[in-house]
Amino acid sequence: MKNSIYTIALCMVVANSINVFAQAQPTKRPKLVVGIVVDQMRYDYVYKYWNKYGNKGFKRLVNEGTFCENTHYNYSPTVTAAGHASIFTGASPSSHGIVGNDWYNRATKKTMYCTEDENVQCLGGTEKAGKMSPKNMLTTTIGDELHLAQQFKNKVIGVSLKDRSSILPAGHTANGAYWFDGKTGNFISSTHYMEKLPEWVNTFNNRKLPQSYIQQPWTTLLPLDKYTESTIDETPYEETLKGEDKPTFPHNLQKIYAAVGSYEMLRTTPFGNTIVREMAVSILQNEKLGTTENNTDMITISFSSTDYVGHQYGTDAIETEDTYLRLDKELELLLNYIDQNIGKKNVLLFLTADHGAVPVPNMLIDKKIPAGYSDGDYIMDSGNKFLKQKFAVADLIEEEENCNLYLNLSAIASNNLDIDKIETELARFLQQQEGIKNAFTSREITTMSNANYAQEMIANGYYSKRSGNVVLALNAGWLTYKKKGTSHGTQYTYDTHVPLIWWGGNVPKAKSDYTHTTITQIAPTVTTYLGIEKPNGSIANPIQLILKK
């Protein structure tokens, strides 16, 4: 009798174990991961233009997916290269090393571009535009880990107008990354990925699509008086495109093209996003992404024209609103292609942004809101004058980049000066200057002594081999930028708060409860969803809401 009881109990334990094990199984991997980044898209643009969007673009993603509404960057500077790297590595610049679009290289005494690589060759375009690779990024990406998990039997490909926005998301082991060469109007790549362009890319380039986009003027989708979310068409806060007399509709693209002399001008029109969407669909078609039964492919798509238009016209211009209304239609076409050829149930898609933007400071000033402009050259010159007076050595500041001040280490060493004292005195001096909220020394940043929010944000964006000796935090509403149009790069919510929308077969229909989410949680969420390792620089936790079954 006792043995029978033991046998029954053992069977119950085994049965329960099997049941628990069955419940613990990961979700079946989708056939395709789609990572979309909208450059310079503030969180509020989702709702600001909501009533003008159609039902099958942004609205479809929100209504059918999960919208994490309180998603932020956890570092500064909030710029394109750092943002794209952070989204796809799940790490901040302090780990992945992409501290800006550019940084000062002490060894060469020159500014270094984030993806420049003299050891590769251009494929399909002008030589300088193609000498690019992800080698400066120090950690793996979602795509790298997806390749490692599947023994490189799958494909990972990136596309964007901007090289950095294609290269960094796709990762080190990508099968391809393609970006736009404005001089030729072609999508190009480099020998980091392949020996020559695939024939289908040459066929796509031979369609000469950029020529067709400049045949008609850029007019608004709606009558001008319907753009009630924006300012009037002509304001003093907008930059005028080369070849135009004023920044108003309609924009004569043929005239602008003639004045610029290349297809670079397409970047600052919504048609830059059109060509990226067409190229993305060609990638899906010709590389057959998402069509194999046992592998998960990935495509990263970055829409950059929103950033160029935002820089040119600001956050409140009709041009900006029209660009988003047109992007909504591009998203609709992309989702329609996925429906028809891959199927929503076979896809995991997320859409986010690499940073936001501040309203044009001059407009804020006119509205009696505190704001202003800081001049990097003036900061460097005044700092050098102060240090010369204090330490009797000229030009102790070697360079300024992204509010980072780089000291002349050789001059400091040859004059037996105390670098900590120089940093401290310089920070104290600069902190008294107009528009500068804080100035932190490298010691303060790396030791996090008396850390506040601004210092923590800067520390997360600081990599000592590429960042400066003193880092500045500007006041809210302030920019180091020209006085028309706008920019970004700070630790304030207008730069850090971005949309994050998830969509696909197993993504729940939900809105987040406004729990604070960081951009570095995207990559571990995707990899946990796929049942693979996180990128090797990521320490963030996945977003639980997306993983609920």
Active site (catalytic) residues: 80
CB 415 within 8 A of CB 394: no
Please give the structure tokens belonging to residue 547: 């993983």
Give the C-alpha separation, 308 to 306, whole Å: 6
Give the C-alpha separation, 431 to 471, whole Å: 11
Rounded to 5°, the CA angle 523-525-527 comes to 70
Angle of helix 142-149 versus helix 522-530 axis, rounded to 10? 20
Per DSSP, the three-state class of 34 is strand
Give the C-alpha separation, 105 to 126, whole Å: 25
CB 99 within 8 A of CB 461: yes
- What's the residue count for the chain? 549
Cα 32 to the center of its chain, rounded Å: 21
Residues 6+ apart with CB under 8 A from 110: 104
Give the C-alpha separation, 49 to 299, whole Å: 27
Give the C-alpha separation, 196 to 123, whole Å: 6
Listed in order, strand segments (DSSP E) in 341-402 are: 347-352, 372-373, 397-401
β-pairing, 478-479 vs 66-67, is unpaired
For tokens 């901040």, the residue is: 92
Q: Is the peptide bond before 198 cis (omega within 30 degrees of 0)?
A: no
CB 417 within 8 A of CB 433: no
Report the amino acid identity of residue 224.
L
Rounded to 5°, the CA angle 463-467-473 comes to 105
* CA-based radius of gyration for the chain: 25
Give the C-alpha separation, 54 to 51, whole Å: 8
CB 522 within 8 A of CB 90: yes
CB 355 within 8 A of CB 80: yes
